[in-house]
Amino acid sequence: MSTFFLFCYGCCFGSLIGATSARYARQESPFYPGSHCDTCQIPLQPWQLVPVLSYLYQRGRCQTCGAAIPRQVLILELVGGWLATTIMGPATLLTVIWFYLWIYASLCDKATQTFPGIISWLSLPVLLWPFGFPIWGLASIWLIGVHLLWSHLSQPPIGDGDLEFIGLYGLAFGLPTTAWWLLTACLLALLTHRWFSGRIALIPYLTISALVWWLWS
């Protein structure tokens, strides 16, 4: 039964991640206005905010204007729900929070090639919790150093957020694991790059690769 409740809570977090990342992409406040249809702007009824069920009941369409609700909304809610159930085993609460943070960053990065810098800082204690203050200090120096250096580069070869993510991951898991993780992410990015134009948003691939390696281990 507790697995069911965890799934329900996780679906809510998935829904929240989807909604707030979409607002970040549109440069809107995460708090105002309330939840509404992106096409007709009609505020949603409380029952339309119930994750998964409201999407299924409305058959993926706005009840007012009939506009399609992105399938990504449903997928995010289900993934959020599934991730929460892994707290029962094999994951820990920190692992799940870490994935929530980087799924949010992935969606922001995919839409805008940026994400809120606070995500790196929030993920620092979450990922490096067992390592204590010396590694936290090193990670903080890494984040500040990348930020300061990148603010002086006009055309950096890689995004500062990508480098922050890679540095934190490396500190937590060591060089060999990080190398395999990075290779998987880059291969995924290269294989799917033909569907995108311009620069590759790397955070989604880094997050997917982390998820793949976590499931593998």
Among 3, 39, 45, 92, interactor with Zn ion by CB under 5 A: 39
| Minimum distance from residue 174 beta carbon to Zn ion (Å) | 49
Give yes or no for a contact between 105 and 24, defined as CB atoms under 8 angstroms apart: no
CA torsion sign for 32, 96, 83, 102 is positive
The residue range among 39-47, 99-107, 121-129, 209-217 that interacts with Zn ion, by the rule CB under 5 A, is 39-47
User: Could you say whether residue 6 binds Zn ion (CB under 5 A)?
Assistant: no
Listed as own residue / partner, the contacts of 151-158 with beta carbons closer than 8 Å and 24 or more positions apart are 158/202
Among 17, 37, 87, 105, interactor with Zn ion by CB under 5 A: 37
- Using CB under 5 A as the binding criterion, the count of chain residues that bind Zn ion stands at 7
User: Could you say whether residue 40 binds Zn ion (CB under 5 A)?
Assistant: yes
Site for Zn ion in 60-99 (CB under 5 A): 62, 64-65, 67
Q: CB nearer to Zn ion: give 18 or 204.
A: 18
Q: At what angle do helices 160-173 and 118-128 cross, to 10 degrees?
A: 0
| Minimum distance from residue 45 beta carbon to Zn ion (Å) | 12
User: Could you say whether residue 53 binds Zn ion (CB under 5 A)?
Assistant: no
Give yes or no for a contact between 199 and 157, defined as CB atoms under 8 angstroms apart: no
Residue 53: C-alpha distances to residues 8, 28, 42, 58, 206 (Å): 11, 26, 19, 8, 30
| Minimum distance from residue 70 beta carbon to Zn ion (Å) | 13
Other Cβ atoms closer than 10 A to 38: 11
The footprint of Zn ion (CB under 5 A) covers: 37, 39-40, 62, 64-65, 67
